[in-house]
Each structure stands twice: as structure tokens, then as C-alpha cells.
Amino acid sequence: MTEIVHKMARSMNVQRESDSVCEAYRLGKREDAPLLVKLKRQEEKFSFFKKVKELKGLNIEASGLEGNNNNNNKIFINDDLTLQNQKLFKKAMDFRKLHKFHSVFTRHGKIYLKKFQTGDPTKIQSEEDLKIE
């Protein structure tokens, strides 16, 4: 599993240490099940997130990996959120689309919402934070 992470990093030109992966495993038994990766350093995780944003997403072919034809071959890189924060993140994404906010993102397991590209993000801790006055 760690070789998948290393191939992605090389294809994205992300600088990393050779021992940067603490653990990597699939969340399920299917060959295409999501892969959970834990890195030793936060800086490397942020390098991945930053590069994905610069590249406007990832796909399997561009990463030098083999995929199947059953899906769109997109690769998603996300923080590992609690179930409660996963639900809140989805609501924040829906809110962003509905109210035409610039972005929603996570950092250190926390959810943030930005109204405009410039300016400070607002930390979203509950659904109450998604109410517009």
C-alpha cells in the first residue's frame, strides 16, 4: 500500500521522506476500497493537499497507477474526520453551493468555510454556524 502513496507523491512532485508513511491500508476488502494513509509529519500531508488544489484534482492515470473501468478514476484526498464531522462537512458543502461561498476545507480535523477567496475562514463547529442572519 505504501508504494501507491509513493507513486502518487512522485507523479505530483511532492517532496517527502522515504519513511514518511506510518501506515497504509484499505478500508474494506474490495480491491478498489478507499485507502487510509497516516503520515508521520503534518507538513507532508499539507504538501499533498496543496498540490491537489494546484492540480485541480487527481486521477489514477496521471498518478501512474492502474485503475478499473468501473468508476471515473478520480482520486480524493481528505482528512480522516469523525462521523459527526463527516456529516457536518457534507452540510457545509451543501451550504457553500446554496449560498455561493468560495470554499469549504478541513485542517487538523476541523471544518472551515470561506465566503470569498481572500479573507479569513470561519470555523464550523456545528450546524448553528451555518445559519445566515
Tens-place pLDDT, residues 5-58 = 777 777 777 776 677 788 888 888 888 788 888 888 888 788 777 877 777 766
- Looking at the fold, whether 13 and 65 belong to one and the same domain comes out as yes
Give the count of domains, the chain. 2
Q: Using alpha carbons only, what angle is made at residue 86 by residues 102 and 62, rounded to the nearest 5 degrees? A: 65
Residues 48, 60: Cα–Cα separation, whole Å? 15
Q: Of 28, 47, 75, which residue is a domain's last? A: 75
Range of the domain at 112: 83-130
- Looking at the fold, whether 19 and 64 belong to one and the same domain comes out as yes
- Looking at the fold, whether 61 and 120 belong to one and the same domain comes out as no
Length of the chain: 133
Q: Of 29, 46, 75, which residue is a domain's last? A: 75
Does this model's pTM top 0.75? My answer is: no
> Do residues 60 and 66 make contact, with C-beta atoms less than 8 angstroms apart?
yes
Lowest mean pLDDT among 64-78, 91-105, 106-120: 64-78
* Residue 124: pLDDT over 90: yes
